[in-house]
Structures are given as C-alpha cells and as structure tokens.
C-alpha cells in the first residue's frame, strides 16, 4: 500500500511541476490533409510497425495520408538514449521522467503546436504511438471485434496536453489453449485456408497486432501437441519480433545475467490463485508472476464456450497477487481469444496501470470498454446488462447447468454424463428465469437501438454484448425450464408441462441460431470461430425428457440475511473502514477481510429459549495466502469459534466449491442473550478471507419450548 501511494504522489508532483513550467499550443489534425511525421529510419522494427498502424488508422479516421519527413513534421517520434536525443530535446518537452523507466512514453503537445511521442526504449515509443491511435478513437479490437473507427472531421489535443505512462507489470502476455473448437478451425478453414500449419503467419500477424494494440509483449504458444507447428510456421517468430513480442522461451534470454526465471503463481483453472508469493519469494532477483485462466478444460467440468470468467474476481485476485509481489510477469490463458475480449482488455489494463483501474472500478471499466468499441450513448445501459450477465454466470456458468461432469471416472453408482437437477428451490429457479427474461428483453431493445443509430458498430455490439448474454440466457432457459417440467410444473400460467418442455427445446435451438448469426457476420469473416458445443458434451445437447417424482428442495427460513458488505462496523488496527469489491461474488457485495480485521453484522430477534444459533456463511473459495485460511465467529460477545475452509485442488470439495463459486461454513453458536439486538462478529485470522453471504437461522435440530 505504501509503495502504491508513494508512486502516485511522486508522479503527481512531477506532472504538476512540469505543467506549471510548460506552455504549449493545441495540436490539430484536420481531415483530408496530409500528416507529416518525423521518425528516424534507424528506429527498431516495433516502432516502424506502430507507425504503419498509425498510418492505417489516420486514413480511416481522418482520411489523411501519412508521410515521413523530418521537415515541418507535425508529429515527432523518437526513442531516448539514441541518435534522436537532440531532436527530441529541441521540442522543449521535459523527458527526464523517462529515465530508468522501461517501456515508458511521454505524449505531449509542444509550444509550436506539434505532438511529441518519446519512449524510454523502442517498446515505449511504440506504445506512445499506439496511445495516439487510441486517442484518435481506434479500439485495440478494431479488427478482432469489428469495432470500425468512427470518421472525424478533426482531431485535437488541447494546449498543454501531456500523458506519461509506464507499465506496472514488466512482461504482459497471453497464452492460447483449447483451440480445436474456435481459432484453429476458423484459421484453417476461413482466414487462411489450405495452410498446412496449426496457425499460419497471417493469423499470427493479426494476433500480434492485437497484442501490440493492447500493450502486451509476451506470447506463450499453445500447449497442445499442435503447438509445435507454431514454432516451425514460416516467419511467425520474425513477425513476433516486428510487433515487439517475446516468445515464452525467449523470456529467460531477456533477463540480465544471473537473474532467476520469474515460473509463476497459477490459479486453479476457475480464477482462484493457488499460491501467492511469500516474503522470501519476493526477494528473488527474477521477480514473481501470475498465470491466470479465463477458460478451462477438465474436471469437474469445462467452460470453453462463453467468456464468463468474472471480471470482478479477476480484479480481486490479480490485485491481491500484485500487492503480494507478483508484478514481474503476467500471462492470461485466453483460450482462442473470442469471445473473451473484455477479460483480455481488463487483464492488460490492470497489468499496465493497476491504480487506474482501481480508481475507475471494474463496473466503470466495463462501461468504458463498451464506449470504446460500440458507442458511449449506450455504454451505461450495456454495462449494467453485462454486469448482470457476469453476476448470473458467476452463480452458475452456462456450461455447468446440467450438473454433469467431465473427465470423471464413474464409480459404478454415479453416471456423470446424466443430466441432474440443480440443488435449487422452485422459488429460486423461477426468480432466475425471471431475471433472464428481463435481461433478454433489455438486450434486444438496446440491440435495435444500435442497429438504427450505429449500424457500423452493430457487429461489435453483437459479438461483445448481445451474443454472450442471449446465449447464456437461452442455456439457462433450456435447463431450468426442463427442471420444472420433469417435476410436473409449468413455467407460466398459460403453459402446461408439455409447452414448458417445448420452450426448453426452443431455447436449445436458439443457441444454434445465435451462433450461426455470429459466424455469418461480415460475409462469413468469423465462420468457424464460435462453437456452441465444444467437445460435444452432454450440456450442449437437447435436454432428455424424463419425469422425476421427488419434490424440489425448499429454502430454509432465515432470521437474517447479509451480504458480505452488509456490515455495521469494521476495523483495521487504525480503525479504517473496509472497502468491498462491488460486483464480486454471488451477492455482488462480497467483502475481502484482511488479516486481523473484523466485521460485525447486527440483527434483532427474540428467542424464547436458550439454544444454539445456526449461521451459514458462503465464502469465496479462495486459496490461502499464508499457511491457512481461518476466521473466527462470535455471537453477542461470547467465546469465539475458529473455522477454516481450505481445500486441496482436485478434491471433491474443491470441485463442488468451484462449480457453485462458494465454500460453505456452518457454525452453531450458543445464544446467551434472548432479547433485543444481536451482534455477529467475524474476524480474519489470515489474509485471503472473502465473505460473500451470511444466513442466520434457528437451529432446526433444536425445538424451542
């Protein structure tokens, strides 16, 4: 925390002092007029690649050609500590901030109305050029999500404009995996058909361009058997160098002599990091890193279809890792890229400037993502719908609704391929169906608005918002309606059991229709990219019709229910208030509780006899940061009880936890005060404790007098 605060203070002071001593004119680029850029031919290949991207973007946004010339240039580009030093310093912009900051850049207007882009090294210079393309309104996803740039009549930066940026994480990378149902099919059949290679050079160039636009600089090729073809594909490694991309195996060579490899904390496949750097590990010369997953293949069940990895969980776990010393190398397993565009953007923005995302919040970051890729006028509503989508998917992913398992060995009594009931009451099922009904109506309404007002951005809206939400909704309809029907219940008053079954089948067919529409966009540009049945698992098939005479479960009555953040008081050693991560958990108000902190929940109830109170707590199934993961509970100042919920990855308890995204702790606390207000106090004994929901109820095993 001190490191973060000091960094912010120093940067703010430097910017303030320079702003006081520098006056500049506005930088203006009119449309249809040639833009002259001054960049030396001796610059690194990645700088030249970035200039080429800028040339293309200027042509689309301003219809303005770009010409390289050192005379009367409107844009001056150069890398510090090279032959360009004198030329850069003559602009009058203070570049001292760049010293000893790898991959840093300064973008500033000059006194005579020009624009300076200066980098501390070649990557910094390239990222400065990419920042200009972002300011022009070109999204990093302009090609990969069909976010066509909007034409402008003029581009302007006000006088005195300056931005200074440098990455928080040194190496920021992606890992491709499980490509057999998306990227590989699309590349081999559509984008570069006939190539004998796993991924051809044309596909590689598009991947590396996306990485450069996202300011990523490390690539881990696929880990499957076909990955070897990537290394031998002609020109792939040379193309990577042109985009400033290191291969995973090149990372060791990039480290100075004597440095250790960073290897890397990894999550459990479901977004919960298994190990955080210890104090001793933070002293390693090579630093520490994180490998994080947004897709998963294996037990207890895959999620390879929709991009439902919770951005709020990503934020909480990655910031936890960062402030525990993992800021050397971050790698995101992004599967086959689409449809996980937002998660990749969030990951790279966190790795670039973690404090900026903290100040903004994840919810606002989602809104800015939609504004950048679709339109600002629908960004707020779209972000609300996406947050609802992530929330419902966190409670149960679309791929996990059949209660089946993958890569499990049957024990003779259990067939993991058979569809089962979700352990939900009829009330909860109907409530969830109603939420999805409303969500579908809202998304279809805003989709119509985008088609009318921003037709050139509708494809982007469909890919980033409409398809994932409507597909997840249809998958929920398919399984929840079927669960009602097999228990002899109809969904709506005008329905009967047969029509409810029919609605389930129609929901299955809707997923196929939505996927066909996705793959058919832009004249079939994405044909083969999205599969609605990766690995042809049971969950992607129509629901088999059968009857079940057992009653659906009922919800237990509660005296009180709390979100994690429904606290009345909390304390650090200095009495500070804890901050929830809004959007986190099934409650969307989950509360991380640091070690030695406590939160108190208050409720009023009159008991007629002394007995025990049952408290059911849902914790995020995080892994311990230290040796254990413990907390204490006490009621009305009574003796505290200690609980732990550690699990071993691969155990049955871990499987249940990650499928439902919570670990259950049940406590029985003695009641010493019969009347009035009661206080339930939770104290964290270790770091990493995250409280999601708390349910207080009478002990059903004790009958009151």
Closest by Cα among 445, 502, 453 to 469: 445
> Could you report the per-residue pLDDT of 461-510, keeping only the tens digit for each?
999 999 999 999 999 999 999 999 999 999 999 999 999 999 999 999 99
Give the pLDDT confidence score for residue 260 in this predicted structure: 57
Whether pLDDT at 137 is above 90: yes
Q: Tell me the C-alpha to C-alpha distance, in Å, between residue 379 and each of 141, 390, 518.
A: 16, 16, 21
CA dihedral 40, 44, 50, 56 (to 10 degrees): 60
For residues 599 and 534, state if they share a domain.
no
> Could you report the per-residue pLDDT of 85-119, keeping only the tens digit for each?
888 999 999 999 999 999 999 999 999 999 999 99
CA angle 431, 311, 429 (to 5 degrees): 15
For residues 584 and 654, state if they share a domain.
yes
Give the pLDDT confidence score for residue 20 in this predicted structure: 41
CA angle 575, 579, 580 (to 5 degrees): 140
Give the pLDDT confidence score for residue 340 in this predicted structure: 98
CATH number of the structural domain spanning residue 334: 3.20.20.520
User: Kind and range of the H or E element at 665?
Assistant: strand 663-670
Give the pLDDT confidence score for residue 263 in this predicted structure: 73
CATH number of the structural domain spanning residue 506: 1.20.58.2150
Give the pLDDT confidence score for residue 703 in this predicted structure: 44
Closest by Cα among 51, 41, 211, 42 to 132: 51
Give the pLDDT confidence score for residue 4 in this predicted structure: 47
Closest by Cα among 202, 190, 259 to 234: 202
Q: Does residue 31 fall inside a structural domain? A: yes
pLDDT band for 254, please (50, 70, 90 cuts): low
Closest by Cα among 80, 8, 78 to 38: 78
> Could you report the per-residue pLDDT of 513-529, keeping only the tens digit for each?
999 999 999 999 999 99
Whether pLDDT at 19 is above 50: no
Calculate mean pLDDT across residues 360-379: 97
Last residue of a domain, one of 106, 139, 165: 165
Last residue of a domain, one of 117, 138, 165: 165
For residues 192 and 291, state if they share a domain.
yes
Q: Does residue 190 fall inside a structural domain? A: yes
Last residue of a domain, one of 110, 143, 165: 165
For residues 275 and 126, state if they share a domain.
no
Calculate mean pLDDT across residues 194-198: 73
pLDDT band for 408, please (50, 70, 90 cuts): confident
Give the pLDDT confidence score for residue 647 in this predicted structure: 92
Task: Judge contact between 545 and 529, C-beta under 8 A.
Answer: no
User: Kind and range of the H or E element at 75?
Assistant: strand 75-79
Give the pLDDT confidence score for residue 262 in this predicted structure: 64
CA dihedral 235, 237, 238, 241 (to 10 degrees): 150
For residues 338 and 210, state if they share a domain.
yes
In angstroms, the CA 554 to CA 255 distance is 59
pLDDT band for 14, please (50, 70, 90 cuts): very low
In the 8-state DSSP scheme, what is residue 462? I
For residues 456 and 496, state if they share a domain.
yes
Domains of the chain: total: 4
Give the pLDDT confidence score for residue 576 in this predicted structure: 61
pLDDT band for 16, please (50, 70, 90 cuts): very low
Closest by Cα among 203, 27, 58, 31 to 129: 58
For residues 132 and 188, state if they share a domain.
no
Q: Does residue 379 fall inside a structural domain? A: no
Give the pLDDT confidence score for residue 6 in this predicted structure: 41
Q: Does residue 147 fall inside a structural domain? A: yes
Q: Does residue 705 fall inside a structural domain? A: no
Whether pLDDT at 256 is above 60: no
Whether pLDDT at 247 is above 90: no
SS3 303: strand
Task: Judge contact between 417 and 404, C-beta under 8 A.
Answer: yes
In angstroms, the CA 477 to CA 502 distance is 11
Structure tokens at 177: 């995996």
Q: Which residues neighbour 610 within 8 Å (Cβ) at sequence distance 6 or greater? A: 670, 671, 672, 674
Q: Which residues neighbour 347 within 8 Å (Cβ) at sequence distance 6 or greater? A: 292, 314, 318, 330, 332
Pairing of strands 218-220, 246-247: parallel
> Could you report the per-residue pLDDT of 637-650, keeping only the tens digit for each?
999 999 999 899 99
Residue of 634 and 254 predicted with greater confidence: 634
pLDDT band for 71, please (50, 70, 90 cuts): confident
For residues 152 and 194, state if they share a domain.
no
CATH number of the structural domain spanning residue 632: 2.60.120.1620
Q: What share of the chain in percent tops pLDDT 70?
A: 89
Q: Does residue 417 fall inside a structural domain? A: yes
Whether pLDDT at 249 is above 80: no
Give the pLDDT confidence score for residue 2 in this predicted structure: 37
pTM of the model: 0.93
Q: Residue 48: which domain range? A: 2-165
pLDDT band for 231, please (50, 70, 90 cuts): low
Q: Does residue 546 fall inside a structural domain? A: no
């Amino acid at each position: 925390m001190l490191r973060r605060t000091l960094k912010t203070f120093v940067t703010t002071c430097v910017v303030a002092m320079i702003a006081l001593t520098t006056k500049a004119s506005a930088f203006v680029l009119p449309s249809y007029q040639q833009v002259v850029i001054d960049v030396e031919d001796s610059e690194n290949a990645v700088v030249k690649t970035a200039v080429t991207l800028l040339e293309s973007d200027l042509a689309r946004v301003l219809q303005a050609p770009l010409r390289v010339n050192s005379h009367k240039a409107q844009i001056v580009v150069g890398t510090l500590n090279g032959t360009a030093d004198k030329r850069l310093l003559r602009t009058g912009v203070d570049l001292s901030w760049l010293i000893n900051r790898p991959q840093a850049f300064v973008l500033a207007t000059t006194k005579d109305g020009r624009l300076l882009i200066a980098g501390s090294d070649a990557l910094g210079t390239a990222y400065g050029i990419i920042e200009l393309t972002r300011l022009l309104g070109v999204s990093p996803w302009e090609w990969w999500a069909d976010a066509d740039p909007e034409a402008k009549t003029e581009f302007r930066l006000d006088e005195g404009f300056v931005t200074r940026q440098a990455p928080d994480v040194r190496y920021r990378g992606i890992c491709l995996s499980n490509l057999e149902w998306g990227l590989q099919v699309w590349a081999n059949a559509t984008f570069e058909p006939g190539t004998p290679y796993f991924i051809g050079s044309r596909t590689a160039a598009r991947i590396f361009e996306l990485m450069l636009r996202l300011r990523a600089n490390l690539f881990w090729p696929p880990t499957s058997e076909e990955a070897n073809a990537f290394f031998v594909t002609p020109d792939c490694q040379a193309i990577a160098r042109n985009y400033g991309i290191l291969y995973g195996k090149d990372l060791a060579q990039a480290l100075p002599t004597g440095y250790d490899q960073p290897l890397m904390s990894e999550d459990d496949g479901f977004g919960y990091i298994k190990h955080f750097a210890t104090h001793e590990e933070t002293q390693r010369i090579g630093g520490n890193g994180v490998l994080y997953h947004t897709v998963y293949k294996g037990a207890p069940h895959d999620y390879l279809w929709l991009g439902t990895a919770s951005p709020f969980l990503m934020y909480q776990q990655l910031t936890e890792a960062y402030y525990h010393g993992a800021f050397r190398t971050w790698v995101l397993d992004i599967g086959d890229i689409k449809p996980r565009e937002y998660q990749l953007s969030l990951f790279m923005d966190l790795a670039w400037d973690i404090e900026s995302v903290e100040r903004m919040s994840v919810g606002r970051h989602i809104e800015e993502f939609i504004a950048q890729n679709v339109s600002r006028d629908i960004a707020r509503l779209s972000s609300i719908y996406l947050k609802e989508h992530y929330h419902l998917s966190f409670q149960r992913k679309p791929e996990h609704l059949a209660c089946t398992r993958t890569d499990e060995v049957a024990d003779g009594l259990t067939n993991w391929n058979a569809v089962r009931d979700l352990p939900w009451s009829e009330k909860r099922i109907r409530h969830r169906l109603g939420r999805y009904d409303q969500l579908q109506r809202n998304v279809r309404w805003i989709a119509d608005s985008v088609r009318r007002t921003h037709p050139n951005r509708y494809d982007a809206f469909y890919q980033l918002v409409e398809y994932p939400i409507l597909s997840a909704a249809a998958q929920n309809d398919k399984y929840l309606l079927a669960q009602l029907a097999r228990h002899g219940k109809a969904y709506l008053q005008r329905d009967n059991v047969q029509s409810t079954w029919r609605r389930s089948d129609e929901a299955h067919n809707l997923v196929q229709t939505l996927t066909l529409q996705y793959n058919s966009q832009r004249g079939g540009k994405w044909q083969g990219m999205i599969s609605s049945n990766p690995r042809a698992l049971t969950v992607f098939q129509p629901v088999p019709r059968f009857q079940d005479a057992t009653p659906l479960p009922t919800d237990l009555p509660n005296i009180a229910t709390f979100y994690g953040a429904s606290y009345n008081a909390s304390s650090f050693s200095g009495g500070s208030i804890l901050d929830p991560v809004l959007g986190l958990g099934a409650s969307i108000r989950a509360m991380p509780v640091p070690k030695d902190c406590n939160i108190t929940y208050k409720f009023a109830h009159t008991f007629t006899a002394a007995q025990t109170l049952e408290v059911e707590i849902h914790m995020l199934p995080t892994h311990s940061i230290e040796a254990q993961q413990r907390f204490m509970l006490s009621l009305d100042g009574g003796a505290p009880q200690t609980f732990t919920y550690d699990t071993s990855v691969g155990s049955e308890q871990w499987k249940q936890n990650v499928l439902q995204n919570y670990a259950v702790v049940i406590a029985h606390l003695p009641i010493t005060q019969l009347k009035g207000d009661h206080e339930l106090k939770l104290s964290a004994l270790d770091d990493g404790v995250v409280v999601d929901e708390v349910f207080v109820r009478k002990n059903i095993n004790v009958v009151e007098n």
